């Protein structure tokens, strides 16, 4: 939205009265959406748990700084032992979701999935002595935090290092194409960072992580002088997939998985600022740097981080328990099925879904996009098995979160029919 304010209105020479501050913030917040009230269709966020919000607010004033990693046993910033321990316990619970114990992993609470994905790929890129000769392989459905940002920052900017692997028509990486993509470029690169998705942003498709992991094991045997790193982006699916029985394990029980992103601030129901990155024990040594003013070294990307966020994430996960997340997942999957039925009965073409995200083919009129918060991707590859053949279609999606009601989809459909009819 264009802000037509004059410079005078930006003036802040004199301090503002707290009453005026609150009244101004009230006005600002009326410009924001509200998950409970508004028509939010495709957005991977929802109201955080009340307990998480209360803990965050209560302990924000302590201004605890969780800089660094708290799972490595290295020297830590002094004075924040409580919030560092809370974070270590969050990492232990996240590790458990991903099939292992704290002894087997390191990790930290990042600003979000973007940073966590960057961190995972950074660790992967640095596994080689020649990081410039790194290729990144993933499907065209991979989040732009990897395909755009990470590639731009970490890899050669000509983007020739980015190899898009075809998927089936529901968005799952074709493992034989992944092997082919490695073999075709084996002489051009020393290091291969491979990304599997456990919940793509638009379709919610979950790659076959066990098969990808097995294939990587075989590639390591065939090409022992090359490096391979397997990162799983479970930013959305990390708190859902472990509770869906027909999806194979996406975590560290797959031997060749090295790093995993799972965001608490999506399906973990915590406030923003709580992405999680996990690695197999010791891998963070590859990104460790010494800060002269800070005891020990820091291997995280962040720098100063909120200790209150660690407490709030800890509170949310303890409050829900695995049973609570399992129940939420079951309820949301039921709502997802109901919405699929409605779409199907009204002639919409939908993608086969694995989790609580439904991709719908076709465009939506602009006026619908104003009334409802919908994510529409207008550059979606028409043919996912040849994503680079140039043909594109529009796809929009429904991200079924706690606030999503089937009636919302009925409302969109009836408005569409009224306008057309
Ligand atoms: C699959 C996936 N990965 C990463 C991200 C980025 O997460 P964040 O917005 O927390 O940085 C998203 C965001 O929607 C996502 O869907």
Q: Which residues of 197-210 are buried (b: 16+ CB within 10 A; e: fewer)?
A: bbbbbbbbbbbbbb
Distance 235 CA to ligand 1 centre (A): 6
Distance 262 CA to ligand 1 centre (A): 9
Domain containing residue 397: CATH number: 3.90.1150.10
Q: Which of 30, 139, 88, 83 lies closest to 312 in space, CA to CA?
A: 83
Domain that holds residue 398: 322-420
pLDDT at 381: 94
Averaged confidence pLDDT in the chain: 94
> Is 39 among the domain residues?
no
- Supply the pLDDT for residue 195: 98
Is 237 a pocket residue for ligand 1 (Cβ < 6 Å)? no
Q: What is the CATH number of the domain that holds 131?
A: 3.40.640.10
HEC sequence for 231-295: EEECCCHHHCHHHCCCCCCCCCCCCCCCEEECCCCCCCCCCCCCEEEEEECCHHHHHCEECCCCC
Predicted pLDDT at 291: 81
Write out pLDDT tens, residues 50-87: 999 999 999 999 999 999 999 988 778 889 999 999 99
Backbone angles phi and psi of 233, in degrees to 5 = -95, 95
Helices (H), 142-234: 144, 151-154, 175-184, 209-222
Give the residue from 217, 196, 277, 207 showing the smallest Cα distance to 248. 207
Given this model, what pLDDT does residue 420 score?
A: 64
Do 238 and 298 have their domain in common? Answer: yes
Among 135-139, 171-175, 271-275, 294-298, which is the least confidently predicted range?
Answer: 294-298
Please indicate, yes or no, whether residues 214 and 354 belong to a single structural domain of this protein. Answer: no
Mutation test residue for ligand 1: of 114, 148, 250, the one with most atoms within 8 Å of CB: 114
Q: Rounded CA gap, 198 and 406, in Å?
A: 24
Same domain, 397 and 285: no
Instruction: Give the pLDDT mean for 128-148.
Output: 95
* CA pair distance 239, 323, nearest whole angstrom: 11
Same domain, 302 and 338: no
Q: Which of 273, 302, 318 is the last residue of a domain?
A: 318
Check pocket membership of 201 for ligand 1, CB cut-off 6 A.
yes
- Please state, for a pLDDT cut of 90, what percent of the chain lies above it: 84
**CA nearest neighbour of 80 among 286, 278, 276, 294:** 294
From ligand 1's centre to the CA of 222, what distance in Å? 34
Residue minimizing CA distance to atom 8 of ligand 1: 113
Structure tokens, 127: 């596994």
Q: How confident is the model at residue 9 (pLDDT cuts 50, 70, 90)?
A: confident
Contact 113 CB / ligand 1 (< 6 Å) = yes
CA of 115, closest atom in ligand 1:
11
CB-CB contact of 331 with 91 (8 Å)? no
Same domain, 310 and 377: no
pTM (2 d.p.): 0.96
pLDDT in tens, 169-194: 999 999 999 999 999 999 999 999 99
Tell me how far apart the alpha carbons of residues 72 and 75 are, in angstroms, rounded to a whole number.
Answer: 9
Q: Is 307 part of a structural domain of the chain?
A: yes
Same domain, 272 and 382: no
Residues 198 and 247 in one domain: yes
Tell me, yes or no, whether 146 lies in a domain: yes
pLDDT of residue 366: 85
Does ligand 1 lie within 6 Å of residue 404's CB atom? no
Query: Rounded to an integer, what is the distance from CA 238 to the centroid of its chain?
Result: 8
Nearest Cα neighbor of 105 from 145, 154, 69 is 69
Residue found by looking up tokens 């439904």 in the block: 358
Domain count, the chain: 2
Mean of pLDDT values over 195-209:
98
Q: Are 241 and 364 in a shared domain?
A: no
- CA angle, residues 344, 346, 349, in degrees to nearest 5: 50
pLDDT of residue 166: 96
Q: Based on C-alpha coordinates, what's the Rg of the chain?
A: 22
Ligand 1 and 171: CB distance under 6 A: no
Do 99 and 247 lie in a common domain? Answer: yes
380, containing H or E segment: strand 375-381
Residue 134: which H helix or E strand, with range? strand 134-139
In short, whether 207's Cβ falls inside 6 Å of ligand 1 is no
What distance in angstroms lies between residue 7's CA and the mean position of ligand 1's atoms? 35
Q: Is the CB of 111 under 6 A from ligand 1?
A: no
- The atom number, within ligand 1, closest to the CA of 266 reads 10
User: What is the share, in percent, of the chain residues with pLDDT greater than 70?
Assistant: 99
Give 246-267 pLDDT, tens digit per residue. 999 999 999 999 999 999 999 9
pLDDT tens profile 361-410:
998 888 888 889 999 999 999 999 988 777 899 999 999 999 999 999 99
Residue 167 lies in a domain: yes
Closest atom, ligand 1, to C-alpha of 234: 1
Q: Is 145 in the pocket of ligand 1 (CB under 6 A)?
A: yes
What pLDDT is attached to residue 105?
98
Q: Is the CB of 270 under 6 A from ligand 1?
A: no
pLDDT value at residue 6: 79
421 confidence band (pLDDT: 50, 70, 90)? low
| 299, 402: one domain | no
DSSP letter string, 333-378:
HHHHHHHHHHHHHTT--B---SSSEEEEES---HHHHHHSB-EEEE
Is residue 2's pLDDT more than 60?
no
Listed as own residue / partner, the contacts of 381-384 with beta carbons closer than 8 Å and 24 or more positions apart are: 381/140, 384/139, 384/140, 384/141, 384/166, 384/167, 384/168, 384/169, 384/171
């Amino acid at each position: 939205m264009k802000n037509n304010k004059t410079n005078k209105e930006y003036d802040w020479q004199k301090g503002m009265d707290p009453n005026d501050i609150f009244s101004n913030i009230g006005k600002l917040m009326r410009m924001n959406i509200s998950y409970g009230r508004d028509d939010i269709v495709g957005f991977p966020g929802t109201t955080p748990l009340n307990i998480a919000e209360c803990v965050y607010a209560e302990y924000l004033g302590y201004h605890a700084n969780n800089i660094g990693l708290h799972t490595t046993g290295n020297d830590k910033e002094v004075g924040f032992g409580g919030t560092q321990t809370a974070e270590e316990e969050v990492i232990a619970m996240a590790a458990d979701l991903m099939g292992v114990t704290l002894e087997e992993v390191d990790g930290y609470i990042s600003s979000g999935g973007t940073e966590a994905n960057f961190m995972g790929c950074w660790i992967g890129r640095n596994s080689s002595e020649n990081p410039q000769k790194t290729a990144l392989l993933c499907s065209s459905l991979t989040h732009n935090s990897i395909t755009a940002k990470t590639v731009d920052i970490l890899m050669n900017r000509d983007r020739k290092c980015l190899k898009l692997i075809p998927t089936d028509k529901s968005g799952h990486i074709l493992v034989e194409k992944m092997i082919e993509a490695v073999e075709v470029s084996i002489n051009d690169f020393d290091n291969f960072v491979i990304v599997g998705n456990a919940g793509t942003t638009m379709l919610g498709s979950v790659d076959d992580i066990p098969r990808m992991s097995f294939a990587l094991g075989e590639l390591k045997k065939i090409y022992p002088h090359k490096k391979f790193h397997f990162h799983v982006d479970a930013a959305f699916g990390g708190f859902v997939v472990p509770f869906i029985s027909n999806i194979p394990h996406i975590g560290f029980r797959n031997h060749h998985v090295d790093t995993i992103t799972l965001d608490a601030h999506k399906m973990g129901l915590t406030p923003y600022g709580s992405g999680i990155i996990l690695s197999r024990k010791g891998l963070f040594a590859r990104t460790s740097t010494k800060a002269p003013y800070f005891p020990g070294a820091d291997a995280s990307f962040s720098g100063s981080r909120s200790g209150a966020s660690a407490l709030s994430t800890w509170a949310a996960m303890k409050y829900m328990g695995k049973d609570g997340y399992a129940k939420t997942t079951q309820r949301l999957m039921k709502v997802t099925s109901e919405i699929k039925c409605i779409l199907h009965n009204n002639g919409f073409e939908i993608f086969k879904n694995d989790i609580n995200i439904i991709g719908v083919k076709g465009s939506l009129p602009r006026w619908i996009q104003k009334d409802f918060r919908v994510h529409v991707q207008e550059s979606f590859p028409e043919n996912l098995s040849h994503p680079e053949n140039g043909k594109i279609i529009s796809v929009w999606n429904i991200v079924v979160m706690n606030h999503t009601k089937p009636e919302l989809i009925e409302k969109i459909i009836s408005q569409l029919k009224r306008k057309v009819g």
